Amino acid sequence: MISPTDQIRAQALTLGFSHCGFARAEALESWRPFYEEFLAGRDFTGMNYLERFAEQRLHPELLLPGVQSVIALLMNYYPEERLPEEENFIVSTYAYGHSYRKVVQERLQQLISLLEELVPGSRSLGYADSGPVLEKQWAQRCGVGWIGKHSILVNPQEGSFFFIGIILTTIPLEPDTPAVDHCGNCTRCVDACPTNALHTPYRLDINRCLTYHSNINKGEIPEGIRGQFRERIYGCDSCQDACPYNRKAVPHREPAFNLLPGLAALRKPEWLSMPEEEFNRLFEHSEIGHMGFRRLRRNMELSEGQRESG
For residue 160, the tally of other CB atoms under 10 A from its CB is 22
Per-residue DSSP letter, 149: T
180 within domain boundaries: no
Residues 22 and 121 in one domain: yes
178 within domain boundaries: no
> By residue range, what is the domain housing residue 128?
4-79+98-169
Torsion over CA: 81, 197, 137, 157 (sign): positive
CA–CA separation, 172 vs 124, rounded Å? 12
Edge-to-edge strand ranges of the sheet holding 19-24: 19-24, 69-76, 162-169, 124-127
Q: DSSP letter string over 83-115?
A: ---TT--EE-GGGSSS-HHHHHHHHHHHHHHHH
The pTM of this model reads: 0.93
Residuewise pLDDT in 10s, the chain (310 residues): 789 999 999 999 999 999 999 999 999 999 998 888 877 756 555 566 677 788 999 999 999 999 999 999 999 999 999 999 899 999 999 999 999 999 999 999 999 999 999 999 999 999 999 899 999 999 999 999 999 999 999 999 999 999 999 999 999 999 999 999 999 999 999 999 999 999 999 999 988 999 999 999 988 899 889 889 989 999 999 999 999 999 999 999 999 999 998 999 999 999 999 999 999 999 999 999 999 999 999 999 998 765 444 4
176 within domain boundaries: no
Residues 105 and 162 in one domain: yes
Residues 269 and 150 in one domain: no
Q: Where are the alpha helices (DSSP H) in the chain?
A: 4-14, 32-39, 49-52, 54-58, 100-118, 135-141, 188-192, 210-215, 223-226, 238-242, 261-264, 268-273, 276-282, 287-291, 293-309
Active site residue ranges: 129
Residues 217 and 287 in one domain: yes
Residues 23 and 149 in one domain: yes
CA–CA separation, 239 vs 252, rounded Å? 20
Please compute Rg for the chain using Cα positions: 20
192 within domain boundaries: yes
Residues 278 and 133 in one domain: no
Total tally of structural domains belonging to the chain = 2
